[in-house]
């Protein structure tokens, strides 16, 4: 069987490079505010209103703000594995950007292994796959896991 | 000029799973509200409908849909959407029409026929829609956010599962005799904690269901109302605030917060700004509140509201529920109607239903759940995509 190609499940949000996964956002050149998903039209800081926004890669480590679990199968457009396996979801605050990003936690790490304030890092996981491709999204995992 | 409008009539169609059209629920509620006001449909010159997005085109133009169903009369209409705050938007527009003198009698109606289970986004691939993105990329449902906020309370303030369960026990008891409530059954803390975990740390019995239901108000000027009743219940203020940038607390349906990198977190976080605007506008404060109806999408979220509407300082809500302060008979009862815990969520009707309950409480007509001598009430609610909703009701 030939190797499937991997692609980001949604264009423009992440670099789907397994060796160096990154989230793609933007930053206002005038006031330094970050945006994820990226904002390129107008800085949303009401006192700034700059139109000069640059693409940036966001920090790949942050602090766990809170966490929960999905114990029941979410509805479409989520493509759930059959049989459904519950997973944890983390809210991670990136220090430099001062923004919090949600995401699934890697398989095998449940809520019992998580604690608010712990260091988390970005990784990639397979969201779903078809005959040719694997569709990747970002996931969070405890640093060093 | 007085900034108060009168609530001359209130009406509701009971919440449940009735399997009928939302139009029918809205019409029933409207008829009850008109009967309660002692007015006829032909007296109404302005209709404000709160939209439902789950019932096709008639739901998007709810004002006209209800006006047609009640019989075209030439009344002016508006249809409002603000997710769970749609009802407050409709109340706000109707109130402004009355205050400006452009309307004499305004009918506000919201009704929904809701699907079973999780709310899901509209179909099609729509990566620019945060509501679609969160479901597709991470399987993040509404209870995900409730779970995140609940866990945060535990880690920040030492809240326990038992504290959260007490909210459900209280609300179930409050709603026991409410004829419009869908669930009228006492539950114990053990039953709550014994139900399945949906979004850790929250259990099935701690997360509100989705319901069918309808609610309506008849709003008039104070002068008009005084010809029909001696001491009308009034609405001195409505708040429909949006967040102040940067909103650094994660909100439905977003995958990320705003960044506080250049400006730091706002002075007043969004949820705390919602009732504050209503208090300021009415010239009252949390210390004046006798009763509150808040949006208890989850048990833990009700505790957040205690703080956000100013009943206590951050981190003190658990003490209020433990001490019975927010139970009927306590210092400041919250959700005497039974709240979403007993009703389930009928999105466009909910903010209107909160005002119905406060009106009955202030008139002394809340049979089986009456708060003695209540003179001022506050509602609090929040809709997806930055819609605050708070109404002050007083007598
Ligand atoms: Zn800027």
CA–CA gap between residue A139 and residue A105 (Å, rounded): 5
| Confidence at B265, pLDDT banded by 50, 70, 90 | confident
Q: In this complex, is the C-beta atom of A102 within 8 Å of any C-beta atom belonging to chain B?
A: yes
- Scanning B119-138 for CB atoms below 8 A from A yields 120-121, 125, 127, 132-138
What is residue B187's predicted lDDT score, i.e. its pLDDT? Answer: 98
The pairing of beta strand B5-16 with beta strand B212-221: antiparallel
Tokens matching residue B351: 């903010």
A75 neighbourhood in chain B, CB within 8 Å? 117-118, 120, 135, 141
What is residue B2's predicted lDDT score, i.e. its pLDDT? Answer: 67
A46 neighbourhood in chain B, CB within 8 Å? 245
Could you list which residues have their CB under 5 Å from ion ligand 1? A 28, 30-31, 33, 43, 45, 48, 50
Residue B377 has pLDDT above 70, yes or no: yes
> B30 with B11: CB under 8 angstroms?
yes
| Cβ density class B292-305: b for 16+ within 10 Å, e for less | bbbbbbbbbbbbbb
Mean per-residue pLDDT for B132-145? Answer: 96
Mean per-residue pLDDT for A126-132? Answer: 92
| Confidence at B115, pLDDT banded by 50, 70, 90 | confident
Task: Please write down the HEC assignment for all residues of B305-366.
Answer: HHHHCCCCCCCCHHHHHHHCCCCCCCCCCECCCCHHHHHCECHHHHHHHHHHHHHHHHHCCC
Distance from CA of A130 to the nearest CA of B (A): 15
Q: What is the pLDDT of residues A70-106, one digit of tens each?
A: 999 999 999 998 899 999 999 999 999 999 999 999 9
Residue A1 has pLDDT above 90, yes or no: no
Strand spans (E) along A30-129: 34-35, 53-57, 61-70, 87-94, 99-105, 119-129
Name B124's Cβ contacts closer than 8 Å, sequence gap at least 6.
none
Q: Searching chain B, which residue's CA lies closest to the CA of residue A46?
A: B245
| Cβ density class A127-137: b for 16+ within 10 Å, e for less | beeeeeebbbb
Lowest mean pLDDT among A2-16, A41-55, B82-96, B142-156: A2-16
Q: In this complex, is the C-beta atom of A137 within 8 Å of any C-beta atom belonging to chain B?
A: yes
Residue B223 has pLDDT above 70, yes or no: yes
CA–CA gap between residue B33 and residue B226 (Å, rounded): 17
Q: Distance, CA B377 to ligand 1 centroid (Å)?
A: 40
Q: Searching chain B, which residue's CA lies closest to the CA of residue A8?
A: B137
Report the percentage of chain B scoring pLDDT > 70. 99
What is residue B120's predicted lDDT score, i.e. its pLDDT? Answer: 77
Tokens matching residue B31: 């008829």
Residue B116 has pLDDT above 80, yes or no: no
Lowest mean pLDDT among A106-110, B137-141, B315-319, B383-387: B383-387
The ipTM assigned to this model is: 0.96
The beta-carbon neighbor of B250 closest among A28, A46, A91 is: A91
Q: How many CB atoms lie within 10 A of CB B19?
A: 7
What is residue B264's predicted lDDT score, i.e. its pLDDT? Answer: 85
| Confidence at B124, pLDDT banded by 50, 70, 90 | confident
Mapped onto helix, strand or coil, the DSSP state of residue B23 is helix
CA atoms within 13 A on the CB side of B374: 34
What is residue B79's predicted lDDT score, i.e. its pLDDT? Answer: 98
Q: Distance, CA B244 to ligand 1 centroid (Å)?
A: 15
Burial of B227 (0-12, 13-18, 19+ CB in 10 A): exposed
| Confidence at B162, pLDDT banded by 50, 70, 90 | very high
The beta-carbon neighbor of A89 closest among B120, B144, B262 is: B144
* Domains in chain A, number: 1
What is residue A2's predicted lDDT score, i.e. its pLDDT? Answer: 58
Distance from CA of B123 to the nearest CA of A (A): 8
Residue B172 has pLDDT above 80, yes or no: yes
Q: What own/partner pairs with CB < 8 Å and gap ≥ 24 does B68-72 have?
A: B69/B23, B69/B26, B69/B27, B70/B27, B70/B30, B70/B41, B71/B41
Question: Most A CBs within 10 Å: which of B123, B125, B138, B205, as the mutation test of the A interface?
Answer: B138
Q: What is the pLDDT of residues B189-220, one digit of tens each?
A: 999 999 999 999 999 999 999 999 999 999 99
Tokens matching residue A83: 């049989």
Domain of residue A37: give its range: 5-142
Residue B1 has pLDDT above 70, yes or no: no
A117 neighbourhood in chain B, CB within 8 Å? 155
CA–CA gap between residue B1 and residue B12 (Å, rounded): 31
B88 vs A145: which has the higher pLDDT:
B88
Which has the closest alpha carbon to B381: B274, B278, B235?
B274
What is residue B123's predicted lDDT score, i.e. its pLDDT? Answer: 79
Q: Distance, CA B258 to ligand 1 centroid (Å)?
A: 12
Q: What is the pLDDT of residues B42-67, one digit of tens each?
A: 999 999 999 999 999 999 999 999 99
B95 pairs with which residues across the strands? none
B136 neighbourhood in chain A, CB within 8 Å? 9-10, 77-79, 127
Residue A9 has pLDDT above 70, yes or no: yes
């Amino acid at each position: 069987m030939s190797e499937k190609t991997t692609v980001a499940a949604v264009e423009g949000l992440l670099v789907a490079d397994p060796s160096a996964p990154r989230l793609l956002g933007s930053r206002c050149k005038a006031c330094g505010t970050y945006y994820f998903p990226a904002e390129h039209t107008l800085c949303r800081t009401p006192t700034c209103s700059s139109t000069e926004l640059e693409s940036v890669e966001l920090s790949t480590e942050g602090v766990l703000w809170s966490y929960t679990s999905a114990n029941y199968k979410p509805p479409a457009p989520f493509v759930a594995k059959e049989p459904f396996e519950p997973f944890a979801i983390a809210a991670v605050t990136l220090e430099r950007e001062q923004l919090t990003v949600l995401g699934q936690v890697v398989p095998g790490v449940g809520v019992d292994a998580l604690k608010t304030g712990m260091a988390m890092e970005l990784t990639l996981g397979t969201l779903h796959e078809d005959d040719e491709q694997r569709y990747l999204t970002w996931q969070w995992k405890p640093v060093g896991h | 000029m007085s900034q108060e409008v009168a609530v001359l009539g209130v009406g509701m169609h009971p919440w449940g799973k009735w399997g009928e059209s939302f139009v029918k629920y809205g019409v029933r509620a409207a008829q009850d509200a008109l009967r309660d006001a002692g007015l006829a449909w032909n007296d109404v010159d302005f209709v404000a409908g709160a939209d439902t997005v789950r019932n096709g085109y008639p739901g998007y133009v709810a004002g006209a849909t209800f006006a047609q169903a009640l019989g075209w009369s030439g009344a002016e209409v508006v249809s409002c959407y603000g997710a769970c705050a749609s009802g407050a938007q409709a109340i706000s527009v109707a109130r402004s029409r009355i205050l400006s003198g452009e309307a004499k009698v305004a009918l506000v109606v919201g009704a929904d026929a809701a699907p079973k289970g999780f709310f899901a986004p509209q179909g099609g691939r729509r990566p620019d829609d945060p509501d679609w993105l969160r479901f597709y990329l991470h399987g993040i449902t509404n209870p995900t956010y409730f779970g995140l906020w609940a866990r945060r309370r535990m880690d920040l303030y030492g809240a326990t599962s038992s504290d959260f369960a007490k909210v459900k026990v209280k609300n179930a008891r409050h709603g026991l005799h409410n004829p419009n409530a869908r669930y009228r059954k006492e539950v114990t803390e053990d039953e709550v904690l014994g139900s399945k975990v949906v979004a850790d740390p929250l259990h099935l019995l701690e997360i509100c269901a989705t319901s069918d239901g309808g609610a309506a108000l008849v709003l008039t000027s104070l002068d008009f109302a005084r010809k029909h009743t001696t001491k009308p219940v009034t609405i001195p203020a409505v708040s429909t605030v949006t967040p102040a940038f940067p909103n650094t607390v994660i909100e439905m349906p977003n995958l990320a917060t705003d960044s506080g990198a250049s400006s730091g977190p706002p002075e007043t976080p969004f949820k705390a700004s919602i009732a504050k605007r209503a208090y300021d506008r009415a010239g009252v404060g949390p210390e004046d509140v006798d009763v509150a109806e808040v949006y208890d999408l989850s048990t833990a979220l009700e505790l957040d509201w205690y703080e956000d509407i100013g009943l206590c300082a951050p981190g003190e809500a658990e003490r209020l529920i433990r001490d019975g302060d927010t139970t009927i008979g306590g210092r400041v009862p919250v959700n005497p109607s039974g709240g979403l815990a007993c009703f389930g969520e009928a999105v466009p009707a909910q903010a209107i239903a909160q005002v119905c309950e406060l009106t009955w409480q202030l008139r002394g007509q809340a049979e089986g759940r009456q708060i003695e001598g209540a003179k001022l009430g506050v509602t609090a609610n929040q809709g997806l995509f930055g819609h605050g909703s708070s109404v002050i009701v007083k007598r």
